[in-house]
Structure 1
Amino acid sequence: MINVLAAKFNQVDASIADTQYQITALQTKLSELQDYRQQLLSVEQACESALSQVNTALMMLHHVDPSQIDTFKTAVDAQFGVVGVGILESATVAPAEPTTPEPIAPTAPSAPAAPDVEPAIDVEVTTATDTPATDEPIEPATKATPPDIEGMLNKMTIQSIRKLAASKGADGKGTRASIAARLKKIVTESDIWDATA
């Protein structure tokens, strides 16, 4: 009876080793395929960028000197010649030599990650390089770019931003950043100036 069990154990151990080898080979193949897919994506992005640049150059050339379009086309066509193409290493990867996988000891499951929840404690951190927030009016932007409402809200003091939230009927609880995130869609630049005036 003992001999029969020993043979069975050997048979199961051989099956486990063979399965582990197959898993290792498949993981290697998966890694190679993922790398190749990433290379394809990079090539696709480079081609799209090149086409966009050629299109821009054609539009500019058509506007400045349309007679030079054929010269530009000849220059682009020349890039497809054998001499003009840079030689890169082949993307094919040599098959990996079969290796016997090392046994891996089981590990205890890791503790579940803490939920990504912002604590509702107001903490204002200042360092030597930070300037404290004040209730001074925030000057309007002079550029034509849209104002950074959330950035302006984050520069307000916690008391001012809570007062602004109350005046707009919004929830004024939580950190300055969480209140700013709620207010950024319902307040205007002038609302912020009025609240900090």
Structure 2
Amino acid sequence: MSRSAETGSARPPVTPDDLDLAVRLAVDALREAPAGAWEGMAGSLEWTCWETVEHLSDDLFAYAVQLGPRKPPLAGEVPFLWESRRPGGPANAIHADREAGPAGLLQVLEASGALLAAMVRTKPPQTRAHHGFGVSDPEGFAAMGIVETLVHTHDLARGLGLAWTPPADLCARVLTRLFPDAPAATEPWPTLLWATGRAELPGRPRPTAWRWDGTPRA
């Protein structure tokens, strides 16, 4: 049974406005970070907080460009060059200018989110494009971008010493879209952290492997 069926309601759509909200809330939260904290590690990740924002920006950019061609690829990624700048660092096409400081880094994140939101707004809903977890549609890519934003901001908040609790209704919409089999009786934000391998739920240990289902929905 799907999460929406368990809650007794039709599936609420994930919208570009939802993505705009997620990125705006993340940027607002991250602006509160101490200036000297960005080289610390981001939660349990093996990346610094600076690298994690670059990775998140790169995720949003990659989803946007995947939808961009007149005929989006269905069997692979648009061939930008992704590369790591240090052993063990994230492989990105997007890197922020260090001389621009944290404010510039967050501007890169904001711009990448805006690119994806704009692409989702302008592409027909029947558009399909490749993702490593399966072919998806514009709504699916928006939902993926939101999940990336919410959970990586969680990682960053742990590393930067910030509070971070995104809106429950936003978490619920992306859970229903991408994790339809997630438990419905638990609060949406802890459930999203559980679904992405970042937390336990009562009676459910933290997953050691996870993936979402971006399959287009009816």
TM-score where L is the length of structure 2: 0.19
Q: Under a length normalisation based on structure 1, what TM-score does the superposition of the two structures give?
A: 0.20
Q: Max radius of gyration: which structure?
A: 1
Higher helix share: 1
